[in-house]
Amino acid sequence: MVNPVFTSDMTSNKVETWRHIFGSMAHRQLSILEVGSYEGRSAIVLLEMLPHAHLTCVDTFAGGPDLPDLDGVEERFDSNLVRCPRSICLSNNVAPMT
Ligand SMILES: C[S@@+](CC[C@H](N)C(=O)[O-])C[C@H]1O[C@@H](n2cnc3c(N)ncnc32)[C@H](O)[C@@H]1O
């Protein structure tokens, strides 16, 4: 399996908190909506943490004030999640969150 490619990490510092919140839900068939997936790191963590969940990712891939350089981010998301059959990405075109 190809290793995912990330250019930044906005996820790792949240993983312990998510483990605390989601730990008891690992057996459940959840449907999760993630708004703002970027390169897919948080999506991959959630799918690993919740092995029976289905994840819908929504992203403009247009960034925001804190993410000025989004060159190739949608392609990296697609490539990073291509082997995750429990996920789907809906690319939207609403205004970036401020
Ligand atoms: C902080 S990053 C997400 C980081 C990601 N969850 C992770 O942990 O790797 C924020 C993302 O939200 C997306 N975004 C900003 N405004 C949005 C909107 N209105 N709808 C959907 N996505 C949006 C940006 O394109 C960016 O990819």
What is the mean predicted confidence (pLDDT) over 24-46? 96
Give me the pLDDT at residue 32, please.
Answer: 95
Stronger pLDDT, 13 or 88, i.e. the higher one: 13
Interatomic CA distance for residues 52 and 31, integer angstroms: 9
Which residue has the CA at smallest separation from atom 13 of ligand 1? 36
Give me the pLDDT at residue 83, please.
Answer: 84
Q: What is the band of 9 on the pLDDT scale with cuts at 50, 70, 90?
A: very high
Interatomic CA distance for residues 14 and 25, integer angstroms: 17
- In the CATH scheme, what is the code of domain 29-91? 3.40.50.150
Q: Is the CB of 36 under 6 A from ligand 1?
A: yes
Mutation choice for ligand 1 from 9, 47, 60, CB with most ligand atoms inside 8 A = 60
From the list 8, 58, 64, 65, the residue with the least C-alpha distance to 36 is: 58
pLDDT per residue over 47-97, tens digit each? 999 999 999 999 999 888 888 778 999 999 999 999 888 988 888 766 666
For residue 1, is pLDDT > 50? no
How remote is the CA of residue 27 from the centroid of ligand 1, in Å?
A: 27
What is the mean predicted confidence (pLDDT) over 1-12? 87
Mutation choice for ligand 1 from 15, 35, 89, CB with most ligand atoms inside 8 A = 35
Which residue has the CA at smallest separation from atom 27 of ligand 1? 38
